[in-house]
A and B are shown apart, each in its own frame.
Chain A
């Protein structure tokens, strides 16, 4: 079961996977479409709905993101499951 945050329903632009975000861009996490374990693990590393993160490096598959003051290296298997939105489309809820 994954989380369905209300905020995703408000905007017409569908959230995209983190893996599609180009280097240097900052985005906001909408939800994680993964199993219970991975969702929890990511949440405990600070990847919770609403958090802002920046793509620092991209190396074909894996990505380096800056989140909550830390740098996380995430493989493709993870970045595909993290759904994000533009920073502009926010703060109305």
Chain B
């Protein structure tokens, strides 16, 4: 087993991708929402597991990532830890190396980005570095793969070598600290369970600095309580002597040691501002940087909406027309085409499959945009530029990215929270994303607004978007004051890496890996809900219709909607029809309009008589339409900068449906149809976006927070719609 450790932005992932290729999978670390990447690598006949540890600057338990990396190295004891180091940023990167060298001797330093270092005129004495650190140092350039074979040959050699039991890390601290360490080490060695569980010197150093670690990991072991007590006393006496925090002092001594080492092994420091600095003069400028950032966000947003749209439409067509059609044909061969089974397959399962697959192009394009932003090093600049603004909301700069993406689709926006640095920021941002009005909600606003406010359609829709932002601001503020009161506002504190060209391989791996993770994680939930809804629609409750052949109004679904409709009475739209639309809207907002059409008994626009072309002809059509979708995608790319090559028609409400809905709303609201319509729009804006978002939240935030989020969305939506309708009744009377 080989573990890859390193600072963020050192090319750790590039090395991991190069070694494992497609033989990797992602998951979460047990009990954490931190991503775990694992892959396999073959060295001749030997198979190695490669674990990509989270990128961290140190291993001092500041974040879940650091705790994971630290615990993995000391507890899982990988055969080799490869520490990936940025050769152009040696001084800062060696800190982590030094920390890891205090944990295990089985370390290899991968000196990455040698090409950049050479370009900068840096000369690094590799042998000297290796000698002083006491471990192999392998220079390489991960982007091109240069040096990678040597690295892995060394890794295999270290892994198969005899395990070193006692080792001496290169650094010695000042005398009083060393004496305290020695005394603690002695106490540790007296208890075999402690001595076997951890490297003694590392444990002593750890206990000296970190009381939390002691309470969590050591106190319950035999001899633990006394040891913790001893460590605490040693710390107090050392801090009294140095009049400073012991952990800061240790960091200071480590850096002093590293500084001397770097002076020895590096020649030719780069002088003057680098190219990155010159680009940053614009990218981090208060005004220029903001404009650049908004422009980039616009592109990413367009990528995940307009550019992805043709593929989305194609998948929808492929699954629901082509696939469904041919499944039915197939079933006809065994005379099952009009059975409940056929209905289950097409309306339940295939509809679910389609509901999952339509997100694939959206996510692929989103992840492409995000991967380029991350890989090029731009993300850190975005965080810098937006930090001042987002801080007012109790969020950090990077939170702006998921929130903006939420206007396109909440699902990728939730996944985008993964780029945020702290758990608090991820949670807080993830909880606010659903209030960003996604594009699927737009048709509902357009329909309702064109029925009730035909002359004020655009302002009515705009009000919805603004209301969503306003609610998000309020909720964010309240969360900061309540649930997240005690969690530190993580002050902006990040490294800004030098710009570099993103590699196609990294971007592609990122796109496919993450999309696959979505399919694996969210597909089950979406399928399950789709089938449950089908079941409710299939079960007749009037005793006359047959299973799976029931008019909507006599189905169990309508019955459930009927039971729920009184809940919506005070909001002005309490009938079973509207309740139905809202229930299906929980699955996906895209179907609210079609459900309304269905339950208000308005025949939907028939797609025209379907010609039976035969399998191959249709297969060809499907293929052709795929290429057309690709072409449309290409045509949509200029749309990013505002040139529209696709002609879109504005969808209006079919007159019959409009009239039916108007009557329905007038009835339920006691003659205040327009007010009820507005209240309905507010409810649609604020309640749970769709089950795909819920599935994404469960993956990213965990089950408990997802439940809390769904619960509060329903409450907020209800209260807001209630307020709108009741207050409106008073003011408009």
Contact = CB atoms under 8 A, between A and B. Distances in A.
B391 A56 contact: no
A18 B493 CA distance: 14
A39 interface: yes
A64 interface: yes
A49 B252 contact: yes
A74 B493 contact: yes
Nearest to B92: A70
Contact of A59 (B58, B277, B384): B384
B582 interface: no
Contact of B491 (A1, A46, A56, A75): A75
Contacts of A39: 245, 248
B284 A64 contact: yes
- Classify the interface of chain A: helix, strand, loop or mixed: mixed
A69 B255 contact: no
A90 to B, nearest CB: 16
A22 interface: no
Nearest to A51: B255
B383 interface: yes
B87 to A, nearest CB: 11
Contacts of B280: 56-57, 64
A38 B491 contact: yes
- Classify the interface of chain B: helix, strand, loop or mixed: helix
Contact of B384 (A1, A43, A45, A62): A62
Interface residues of B, number: 50
Interface in A35-93: 36-46, 48-49, 51, 56-57, 59-62, 64, 68-78
Contacts of A45: 57-58, 92, 493, 495
Interface string B472-484: 0000000000000
Given A4-B244, A56-B277, A72 B496 contact: yes
B91 A3 contact: no
Given A38-B491, A64-B384, A75-B387, A43 B91 contact: no
Contacts of B95: 44, 46
Contacts of A60: 286, 388
Contacts of A72: 493-496
B489 interface: yes
A76 B390 CA distance: 13
A37 B91 CA distance: 22
A70 B495 contact: yes
B60 interface: yes
Interface in B438-460: none
Interface of A: 1-5, 32, 36-46, 48-49, 51, 56-57, 59-62, 64, 68-78
B239 interface: yes
B618 interface: no
Nearest to A1: B245
A75 B243 CA distance: 27
Contacts of A56: 277, 280
A73 B494 contact: yes
A59 B380 CA distance: 14
8 contacts: A36-B247, A39-B248, A44-B57, A56-B280, A57-B285, A59-B385, A64-B284, A75-B396
A75 B493 contact: yes
A62 B247 CA distance: 26
Contacts of A5: 244
B251 interface: yes
Interface string B261-296: 000000001000000110011001110010000000
Nearest to B280: A57
A32 B489 CA distance: 18
Given A44-B58, A45-B495, A72-B495, A61 B239 contact: no
A51 B248 CA distance: 13
Name which of B380, B397, B491, B495 has the most chain A CB atoms within 10 A of its CB.
B491
Nearest to A46: B92
B492 A71 contact: no
B89 interface: yes
B669 interface: no
A3 B92 contact: no
B519 to A, nearest CB: 35
B62 interface: yes
A64 to B, nearest CB: 6
Nearest to B93: A70
B391 A75 contact: yes
A60 B388 CA distance: 7
B90 interface: yes
B693 interface: no
Interface in B591-628: none
Contact of B239 (A1, A37, A48, A49): A1
Contacts of B387: 59, 61-62, 73, 75
A51 B256 CA distance: 10
A65 to B, nearest CB: 10
B88 interface: yes
Contact of B91 (A1, A41, A69): A69
A70 B89 contact: yes
Nearest to A49: B252
A31 B269 CA distance: 27
Contact of B388 (A40, A44, A61): A61
A62 B57 contact: no
Nearest to A42: B493
B289 A59 contact: yes
B251 A44 contact: yes
Name which of A42, A61, A62 has the most chain B CB atoms within 10 A of its CB.
A62
Contacts of A71: 276, 495-498
Given A61-B391, A62-B492, A46 B255 contact: yes
A15 to B, nearest CB: 16
